[in-house]
Structures are given as C-alpha cells and as structure tokens.
Amino acid sequence: MKKSISIAAMGLFASVSTGWAADSATLEKKVEELTQQNQMLLERVVALEKLLVGREQPAVVQGLAEKPENREGKESVEQRLQQIETSLAGSQEAAAAAGEPTLLQSINDHVDLKGLVEVEATAAEDFHGGDTSDITLATVEVGLDARISDWSQAHLLLLYEEGEEDDHLIVDEGTVSFGNLESFPAYLTVGKMYLPFGSYTTNLISDPLPLELGEINDSAVLAGFQSSGFYGALYAFNGHLSERGEDDKIDDWGASLGYALESDGFSVDAGLDWLNNIGDTEELGDYVEDNTGAGEIADYVEGVAAHLLLQYGPFDFVAEYVRALDEFGVDELAFAGSGAEPEAWSLEAGLTFDFLDRQTIFSLAWQGTDEARALNLPEDRYGAAIRMLVLKNTSLSLEYLHDVDYDKAEGGTGNDADSATMQVAVEF
C-alpha cells in the first residue's frame, strides 16, 4: 500500500514541477483521496481472494491466500486483480473440461426463472353508449421455481396489473411443495395459490366468463395426487366470508378430480370440482363482502365447476362451466328481486396453422352467464381472436368481443356492447 501511495505522490510533485500550480492544502487533499481510493481497492481485492479461496481448488488459487502484508512488496493491486481474473477463468475452463458444473450452471440446475409482459391497446363502447380507449401495461409476471431437494420445491410469482391493487406489485403466488411424483404419486402444497376450482383455459386475450365467477386465489393447504392419468386434490383455507355467528376460521373446503391423457397429436383433459362456499371466489367474495358490509352471509352456498379440453392435430376445443348450487340471500347477491344462483359457461374452438411462416392460432368463443347481472357480467358474449408468434417468445394478438346485456326486467339495459383489443406479449 505504501508503494502505491509513494508512486501517486511522485506523480503529483512532478506535475507541480511542470507547471500545475496548486497550494499545499489542495495537494494534501488529493493525496488523502488517492490514499482512500487505494485502500478501498485493496480491501475489494482481499475480499475477492477470500471468496475465491473458499470455493475453488487450492491448485487453482495457489498463492492468493497469503496475507496482504506479506504480498505488498511482490505485486501491485492491479497485478493481483489480473491474477484473480485469470484464476476465475481458468477454474471455469477446468470445471468444463472435467465435466463439472460451473457456478452459474449449478444455479440454473436448481432455479428456473420465467416472466411475462403484456401491453394492450383497447377501444370499447359500453352498454350505455359511452366510448373509451386506452393503452395499458396489462400484465407483468415474474416467476421463480427453486428445487430445494428431490422432495421439496418452492414457487414464487410476482404480479403487476395496471389499475389493480393500487398499481402495486403483489405476491400472486408463494408456495412450498413436498413430494416427488416420479417416485410417489402424492404431494403436499402450502402457501398462497390458485386453487383447483375450474380450469379457465382460453386463447382469447380477455378472461373467460367462468373465471370471473369461479377463480380463487388464497392461502391454503392442499394435498394432491397424480397417477395413471388421474389427478385430484383436497384443500382447505380461510376465505373472505364467514357464516353469520361463526368465528373467523379455516372452514372452507374443496375437492377436485380429473383425468388427462396425451398421445401423438391428441390430448384430453376432463375434470370436476366442488367447493363448500362459492361465495369465497375472488369476484363473488369481493361483491358480497362489499354488499353486506360485514363479510358474513347467512349460509354457505356450495359451488361446482367442470371443464373439458380436447386437442386433435391443429384443432382444439374448450368447454367450461361454473355455478352455485343454491341461492344467496337477497341482501347478499340479488337477481330480479330474489336471491341469485349465478352460473357461467364458455365454449371455445381454435385452429392452429402457419401464416407468413409464423405459427398462428384463430379462435371463436361463445360464452354466457345467468343470474349474474349484479357482478356486471354480460348475459351473452361472442368473441373472435387471432394470435401470431411474430418473433421468438413474442406474440401479437387481436380480439373482438360483442356482449349482450340482461333485459331491463332483470336489472340490465337490454343493450349491446363491443370492444376491440390488440396485445403484444413477451414470455421468457
């Protein structure tokens, strides 16, 4: 360190002698700054050396572990930095030549990072004739999957949606799972997740109407299985609503059972789901909680969901159905003067083909609801969408929707509404 300081000082005095005029106070300040910079650089070098010695083989880092005071007379700081870079490069090459994973490869072997960015431009006319248009950052997702061991995994999904959650980034999913389906057919997952009540698969930009009625995202404990094409789950959680007079506790239950088969050019997935309180789905739960002002209902209302997914060559078909199995109280969710028993369904057909040497998917959809006017859902929806993979992991989509409102006698307007959306999406 003294050697580096003396060289810097000689340079400064030489500059003074060739015409750079400065008073002694300025000179002393610059010498002090150079001393501090040199000390910081040396400390960083020492830290790098310790890190290298701790994780590389002794033969690769021979000589780097000497104490700084024993090495100052041998090498400058710059020489030591160069030696560290050479050692790091050599160790990586040696590991690759020996077939051993490098540090980056070791991380990639245990952690998967994925993401999604969707930007949308929309123009729409509502049931009252009002026109709107906007450009939004519709979705940003960042997901992380970590394989902690052969029998434990962790999952994290961060989500941002413009205009939602006060424009805050939220933890949309965060779970820990125990199990190894290659060795044993059962598993256990705990944490915040989307629970298996409905499938909600679509090629459209907009969410299908059954999702608006049945999607659940909550913290839960879930036990599931997969074997010979069959899959299922049992789960429990504490939802938005409680039965009147009951405590705030874990008393929501659900079950899911399905079968999936995939072969060359053909796949099928069929499932049936049950929930003891459909009022705890996202849309229903928020509406009933706001409407009652207390987060309580007289009695839980059971719900059921079913889905069928078919794919044969370039053709695919999706059928989805969600409904409540009983009426809500008229003061909780009303329809035409009595308690509502809402339901939603969706039928969608798609064709995959090449257009301009780009994979393209064209889809047609017919969706509908019943007794769901209070949730601001249309009675009927007709839609068409086309999605093209214009670049690697980059798609351009166009969608048109035509909605039909409930009649005036049912609380609606009896009018139609239209919307057109263009979306650019990138996945990584």
Summarised one tens digit per residue, pLDDT across range 180-192 is 999 999 999 999 9
Determine whether 43 is exposed, middle or buried from the number of CB atoms within 10 Å of its CB (0-12, 13-18, 19+).
Answer: exposed
* Mean pLDDT along residues 151-157: 97
| Residue 379 forms part of a structural domain | yes
Residue 400, token pair as written in the block: 């048109």
86 and 34: one domain? yes
pLDDT for 123 beyond 90: yes
* Of 2-16, 76-90, 147-161, 227-241, the least confident: 2-16
Start-end of H helices in 304-343? none
Give me the domain span that covers residue 142. 112-427
> Is residue 328 one of the residues assigned to a domain?
yes
pLDDT at 64: 43
Q: What angle do CA 345, 349, 354 make, to 5 degrees?
A: 150
CA 378-379-380 angle, to 5 degrees, is 90
pLDDT beyond 70 at 269: yes
Looking at per-residue pLDDT, the higher value among 368 and 290 belongs to 368
Mean pLDDT of 85-104: 61
pLDDT score at 95 = 60
Kindly report the number of other CB atoms within 10 A of residue 311's CB atom.
Answer: 17
To the nearest 10 degrees (0 to 180), the angle between helices 2-17 and 24-55 is: 150
How many structural domains is the chain composed of?
2
Both 129 and 72 in a single domain? Answer: no
**What pLDDT, on the 0 to 100 scale, is given for residue 50?**
60
Q: Are residues 76 and 209 in the same domain?
A: no
pLDDT value, residue 172: 97
Same domain, 340 and 300: yes
Same domain, 94 and 116: no
Q: Which of 66, 100, 134 represents a domain boundary (last residue)? A: 100
In this structure, is the dihedral angle defined by the CA atoms of residues 66, 68, 73 and 74, taken in order, positive or negative? Answer: positive
Q: What is the average pLDDT across 105-122?
A: 88
* pTM confidence score: 0.75
Q: In this structure, are 89 and 51 located in the same domain?
A: yes
Residue 71 above 50 pLDDT?
no
As given in the structure block, the two tokens for residue 381 are: 């929806």
Task: Based on the fold, state whether residues 163 and 21 are members of the same structural domain.
Answer: no
Q: What is the pLDDT of residue 76?
A: 62
Residue 8 clears pLDDT 90, i.e. is over it: no
- Residue 20, pLDDT > 50, answer no
Q: Is residue 105 part of a domain?
A: no
Q: What is the mean pLDDT of the chain?
A: 85
Position 107 in a domain: no
Nearest to 196 by CA among 266, 252, 133, 274: 274
pLDDT band at 7 (very low <50, low <70, confident <90, very high): very low
How much is the pLDDT for 73?
A: 46
SS3 state of residue 308: strand
Taking the C-alpha atoms of residue 355 and residue 314, their distance in angstroms, rounded to an integer, is 13
Q: How high is the pLDDT of residue 244? A: 82
Q: Is the pLDDT of residue 1 over 50?
A: no
Same-domain check for residues 178 and 252: yes
Q: CATH number of the domain at 199, please.
A: 2.40.160.10
Overall average pLDDT of the 328-339 stretch: 93
- 74's tokens: 């041998």
Task: Give 291's pLDDT tier (boundaries 50, 70, 90).
Answer: confident
In this prediction, residue 240 carries a pLDDT of: 83
For the cut 60, the answer to whether the pLDDT of residue 61 exceeds it is: no
Residue 299 in domain: yes
187 contacts: CB under 8 Å, gap ≥ 6: 177, 178, 179, 180, 181, 223, 224, 225, 226
Which among 40, 75, 100 is the end of a domain? 100
- If asked whether residues 263 and 236 sit together in one domain, one would say yes
Q: Which residue has the higher pLDDT, 172 or 74?
A: 172
Query: In this predicted model, what pLDDT tens digit does every residue of 400-421 receive, in sequence order?
Result: 999 999 999 999 999 999 999 9
Do 196 and 88 belong to one domain? Answer: no
Mean per-residue pLDDT for 289-301? Answer: 84
Place of tokens 């965060």: 174
Based on the fold, state whether residues 116 and 95 are members of the same structural domain: no
Q: Is residue 157 part of a domain?
A: yes
Residue 252 in domain: yes
Domain end (from 72, 100, 128):
100
Assess whether pLDDT exceeds 70 at residue 399: yes
In a domain, 6, yes or no: yes
> 255: which 2 tokens?
């079950």
One domain, residues 52 and 116: no
Instruction: Identify which of 179, 157, 148, 168 has the alpha carbon closest to the alpha carbon of residue 113.
Output: 157
Concatenated DSSP letters for 49-111? HHHHHHHS-TTTTTTTTS-HHHHTTT--HHHHHHHHHHHHHHHHHHHHHTT---HHHHHHHHE
Tokens of 223: 């036990």
Segment 219-247, tens digit of pLDDT: 999 999 999 999 999 999 999 888 887 87
More confident residue, 109 or 119: 119
The two counts, helices (H) then strands (E), for the chain are 7, 20
**Residue of 288, 373, 302, 368 lying closest to 336 (CA atoms):** 373
Under DSSP, is residue 197 helix (H, G, I), strand (E, B) or coil? coil
Q: State how far the alpha carbon of 157 is from the alpha carbons of 83, 136, 154, 165, 175, in Å.
A: 41, 21, 10, 15, 9
